[in-house]
Structure 1
Amino acid sequence: MSFRCLMALAAAAAIWLSLLPGLASAHASLQEASPAAGTRVEEAPSEVKLVFNERIEEAVGALQVLDGKSASVTSGKAVLSSDHRALTLALPKLDEGVYTVSYRIISEDGHPVGGSYVFVVGNPPAAKDASAFDLHAQLGHAGHEAEGALTTSALLLYAVRFLYYAALMFAAGTAIWFLLYRPLAGLADPLRSRLERLPGQGLMLAGLLYVFMESTQLMEGQAGSEWIKLFTRTSVGITWLSLLVLAAAGLMVPARLAKTRALLALLLLAQEAWSGHAAALEPKAVNLALDYVHLAGAALWAGGLMLLLSLWAGDRKEAGRFAASFTRAAWISIAVLTLSGIAMTLLWLTDLSYLFITPWGIMLLVKTGLVVLVAVTGAFIRRRMKRSGFPSGAMLKADGILMSLILIVVGAFTYLSPLPANEPVAWHQMGSALHVSIRIAPNVPGDNEFTTRVWMFNKLGAPKSVKLRLISEDKPDLGPIEVPVEPFKDDEISSFDGYTKFAYKVKGPYLPFAGKWTAEVRVLDSNDDEHVERTSFRNY
């Protein structure tokens, strides 16, 4: 066969193949999606439906929908339409939130196709990170956050917090124990009168010092009118006022009204729960209830231990009798503290690895270790009580030292955020053909502003296309999320000789959940050469 005949046959075959409908396009691509990518729907959809531009394989592929914690919302399987071009996945009732649709399919020509996109149901609350625990935010103050350095003023502030918590536990615990253990009312003076007066007086003084130090640190550099706003229009200021009012009321209630004093003690613990981390996190009612139970257990144990140490110094015989009741209650308190602490930790942390990367988590681990030592010491005290009827003075002192260390830790870690701080992504990459920068702010799960800038070498001219994609490093099977950046007029002064800047931006919920991510910029230049740049980042 001549060369000309071969060429003619090859040309005819090429024309025939190009006319085949199944081979006219490279491979399947997503043509239509419901809910559509990036949309916000008021009512939760009952299904997700994806339509492709050509037939896809039936036996291979997956379609899943993930919630804001990157967990699949259903274990059901997607259904392929009769024409092999649409996948439908039935959904359960979805709550408000940001959801990720991820698909992986095989087109009939054998090409794998995958991708992801997000949609929003309702108006979900903003994601919680370390900024949720910033007291300055309640007052609308920006840029006044506490410095991380351990200065003299910071040490003084922590010392005041320790004194306040010690006074609160002693006052609340003593009031509760005077109700639960009636023989305390029969103590001889002056020991009884001191135990009735001094805890309340100590709380009043510590409370005044605590509120003064906290408020002056919080209001540093603010106008006088802001002080009125602090104590009348913010939850933190109102709880501080309620603390001082309740402490003053406790001083005015006669000692014989043990029930009233105990009620005031419980109210003091309630206001402390309301001013803590629990009030900033959802579900608020559950968190507040757990925090209140935790504080009540702490007051029963710490306050009871302080009372026992006071009795040991003033009346050994009465201390022995009180110790029998206290050691039983102490075990209950430790159990309550442990269970409520575990429950709050599981509620507050979306990832237990945060325990090892945040100061709050490290402090909690230290506190846990101290509580274990308290339990061991308590076991020795209880064993000694069974043998001789009296606790060991050395063991009591050891328990007191451990309690003091726990209160020191609480004074510090109660004012730290249990969640890591998110920092905006600001990345720049220099190159010969182009420079690329990416900014993602505030870099939280949910809504963010995505800005991409590309400086093209002048000879290349304007890029044909600029795409920004987000790839989950924690879920490598998840397809990349396309971030639909659009050109905008950029007033930021940032130029490079020999290069022309092109800027793109969009705002939306394209970071659907916390984790490790890769941001990928794909630039197609005028020569149809594609340039790909990547950077990794993390949010919490």
Structure 2
Amino acid sequence: MIKKRQSFIFLSFTIVFLFLMGANKVWSHAFVVKESPAPNSQHGTSPKEVTIAFNSKVEKNLVSIKVIDERQQEVTSQSAQLSNNQQEIRLQLPQLAEGIYNVQYYAISSNDGHSIRGSYHFKVAAAVPIQQPDGEASESEVVSSGQTDQMLDEVNLTDSIIYIIRAIYYIGLLLTIGWVFWWRYIQDYSAELKKRYLFWGILIQMIHLVGLISMILVQLNIFTSNGLSFAPDFPFGTIFGLMWFSSLFVSLIGFVCLFRNKWFDLLWILIIIVSKSLNGHSLEFEPTSVLVISNCIHLFAASIWAAGLTFTIVFWRKQRLYVQSFLPLFSRVAFLSIVILSITGVFSAIAFLSNFNLLLTNWGLFLLYKLFAVILVVSVGGIIRSKLKKQKTMDLGIWIKVDFILMMTIIILVSILSYLNPLP
């Protein structure tokens, strides 16, 4: 009975994997080409509508525009309308009084499931303001400046929440994949260690599941100022819907079937990596196929390094003898992983950078932060390898902790990089 159940699950996974590999190829990521009213513009009369145009199609039921006044109230309860070609969303506006208004829009690219989120301000001012002496600002300008700062703070808070959710997702994703991988190498360890290892495996899977569900909800943009809003027409027929649904299905199955069969574990890892790689920046650039494969290799190498380091940290105090026997193998594998991460990371960065001026954008700056963190990791890794060769393990724990902190920093930077748009 158990063998039949395992065979059925294995067959289901194989079908899901083949379905993923047979998904339609896409080449272009949707991005904004027009915002009307224009950002930071001033209007003598109330605009009739807000229009956001994209270079390619966006998903039905997954678009929204909000216009918020200085009292933090939405100016209309109407919903944004999507054009027939699915490349433009509009929101009809009522007569607006004088003041500063904040436009917040959201959409999902039909091609790769990437979220497009933006916010900007425009001003309605019927009269020309009275000129003040040099160095003095009118009361209305001071108030408007304060209100604008408040609006920007709220936008920054939303982005911060999204960054935290993405960090949880990526930490759970990498650790789960790596934890399953390293399970095959600790079979000769004590029963107590293996029991604790499986306990941590369930805990890490829960972190991944929470992060995954949160990511799906963020992508669906269900959190609104009026509470929760969920469209029942989930886009299963799109790359966006397919990849996230497949990831959720595979994640749930993992709680029952992981750590039992080597081939199932390997297939599980393969599906979860492919699902993630087919739902990111790699689909926005060419050569697309090569970038997707490179991203799969990058994720796998990062997972092995992150999980091996986490295993060392978790079991260092109570299972130090086993950890010390694990470290020589992990040191070699970690070195190889860092080399692979460096090669695939440089390849992706070159593909994404259409010109070096992008290094001055937010995406480019976070890329440089990540590069600096990687350099520190290589340096710390060299120190750890040197101490292992000289068998100086007395102060090894502090360097492993530093390496772990740097690893978590890099994962957080990656979660932010994957959210920011590298396109100009």
Counterpart position of 1:384:
387
Pair 297,152 (structure 1): closer, same or farther in 2 beyond 3 Å: same
Q: Contact conserved, 2:172 with 2:204, CA < 8 A, in 1?
A: yes
Take 1:195 and 1:222, find their aligned partners in 2: how far apart are those partners? Answer: 35
Counterpart position of 1:369:
372
Counterpart position of 1:350:
354
Q: Give TM-score, length-normalised by structure 1.
A: 0.50
Q: What amino acid sits opposite 1:385 in the alignment?
A: L
Take 1:351 and 1:218, find their aligned partners in 2: how far apart are those partners? Answer: 36
Counterpart position of 1:318:
322
Greater Rg over alpha carbons, structure: 1
Take 2:416 and 2:202, find their aligned partners in 1: how far apart are those partners? Answer: 28
Take 1:135 and 1:198, find their aligned partners in 2: how far apart are those partners? Answer: 40
Pair 260,126 (structure 1): closer, same or farther in 2 beyond 3 Å: closer
Counterpart position of 1:146:
117
Deviation at 1:290, TM superposition (A): 1.0
| Structural mapping, 1:323-338, within 5 Å | 323-338=327-342
* Worse-matched range after superposition: 157-166 or 213-222: 213-222
Counterpart position of 2:58:
137
Q: Contact conserved, 1:129 with 1:419, CA < 8 A, in 2?
A: no
Counterpart position of 1:194:
199
Aligned-partner SS, 1:310:
helix
Query: Are 1:395 and 2:395 matched, yes or no?
Result: no
Q: What amino acid sits opposite 2:169 in the alignment?
A: Y
Take 2:56 and 2:305, find their aligned partners in 1: how far apart are those partners? Answer: 30
Q: Give TM-score, length-normalised by structure 2.
A: 0.62
Take 2:32 and 2:292, find their aligned partners in 1: how far apart are those partners? Answer: 19
Counterpart position of 2:139:
none
Structure 1 residue runs of 5 or longer lacking an equivalent are 1-124, 421-540
Pair 404,299 (structure 1): closer, same or farther in 2 beyond 3 Å: same
| Structural mapping, 1:113-512, within 5 Å | 130-131=31-32, 137-139=58-60, 140=86, 142=89, 143-144=105-106, 145-147=116-118, 149=152, 150-183=155-188, 188=193, 190-216=195-221, 226-230=231-235, 232-355=236-359, 357-388=360-391, 390=393, 392-420=396-424
Aligned-partner SS, 2:117:
coil
Pair 380,206 (structure 1): closer, same or farther in 2 beyond 3 Å: same
Take 1:323 and 1:134, find their aligned partners in 2: how far apart are those partners? Answer: 50
Q: What amino acid sits opposite 2:233 in the alignment?
A: I
Counterpart position of 2:143:
none
Pair 402,170 (structure 1): closer, same or farther in 2 beyond 3 Å: same
Q: Contact conserved, 2:29 with 2:56, CA < 8 A, in 1?
A: no
Take 2:351 and 2:387, find their aligned partners in 1: how far apart are those partners? Answer: 38
Counterpart position of 1:93:
none
Pair 135,386 (structure 1): closer, same or farther in 2 beyond 3 Å: farther
Q: What amino acid sits opposite 1:146 in the alignment?
A: R
Deviation at 1:172, TM superposition (A): 0.4
1:22-60 CA distances to partner (integer Å, 9 max, x unpaired)? xxxxxxxxxxxxxxxxxxxxxxxxxxxxxxxxxxxxxxx
Take 1:379 and 1:225, find their aligned partners in 2: how far apart are those partners? Answer: 50
1:458-477 CA distances to partner (integer Å, 9 max, x unpaired)? xxxxxxxxxxxxxxxxxxxx
1:411-436 CA distances to partner (integer Å, 9 max, x unpaired)? 1111111121xxxxxxxxxxxxxxxx
Q: Contact conserved, 1:279 with 1:288, CA < 8 A, in 2?
A: yes
> Between Structure 1 and Structure 2, which shows a larger proportion of helix residues?
2
> Between Structure 1 and Structure 2, which shows a larger proportion of strand residues?
1
Q: Contact conserved, 1:172 with 1:262, CA < 8 A, in 2?
A: no
Q: Which has the higher contact order (CA 8 A, sep 6+)?
A: 2
1:456-495 CA distances to partner (integer Å, 9 max, x unpaired)? xxxxxxxxxxxxxxxxxxxxxxxxxxxxxxxxxxxxxxxx
1:187-241 CA distances to partner (integer Å, 9 max, x unpaired)? 53642331342222322222222222332358999998954243x1321222111
Q: What amino acid sits opposite 1:359 in the alignment?
A: N
Pair 126,175 (structure 1): closer, same or farther in 2 beyond 3 Å: closer
Pair 376,226 (structure 1): closer, same or farther in 2 beyond 3 Å: same
Q: Contact conserved, 2:30 with 2:57, CA < 8 A, in 1?
A: no
Q: Contact conserved, 1:297 with 1:333, CA < 8 A, in 2?
A: yes
Take 2:234 and 2:285, find their aligned partners in 1: how far apart are those partners? Answer: 23
Structure 2 residue runs of 5 or longer lacking an equivalent are 1-25, 34-53, 61-85, 90-104, 107-115, 120-151
Pair 284,126 (structure 1): closer, same or farther in 2 beyond 3 Å: closer
> Could you list the runs of 4 or more consecutive aligned residues of structure 1 that deviate by over 4 angstroms after TM superposition?
125-136, 184-187, 217-227
Pair 185,244 (structure 1): closer, same or farther in 2 beyond 3 Å: farther
Take 1:126 and 1:212, find their aligned partners in 2: how far apart are those partners? Answer: 25
Identity %: 23
Take 1:253 and 1:301, find their aligned partners in 2: how far apart are those partners? Answer: 23
| Structural mapping, 1:5-154, within 5 Å | 130-131=31-32, 137-139=58-60, 140=86, 142=89, 143-144=105-106, 145-147=116-118, 149=152, 150-154=155-159
Q: What amino acid sits opposite 2:290 in the alignment?
A: V
Pair 279,312 (structure 1): closer, same or farther in 2 beyond 3 Å: same
Pair 222,161 (structure 1): closer, same or farther in 2 beyond 3 Å: same
Aligned-partner SS, 2:193:
coil
Q: Contact conserved, 2:28 with 2:285, CA < 8 A, in 1?
A: no
Q: Contact conserved, 1:276 with 1:414, CA < 8 A, in 2?
A: yes
1:39-89 CA distances to partner (integer Å, 9 max, x unpaired)? xxxxxxxxxxxxxxxxxxxxxxxxxxxxxxxxxxxxxxxxxxxxxxxxxxx
Pair 347,193 (structure 1): closer, same or farther in 2 beyond 3 Å: closer
Pair 184,292 (structure 1): closer, same or farther in 2 beyond 3 Å: farther
Q: What amino acid sits opposite 2:352 in the alignment?
A: W
1:104-146 CA distances to partner (integer Å, 9 max, x unpaired)? xxxxxxxxxxxxxxxxxxxxx9987854999982444634342
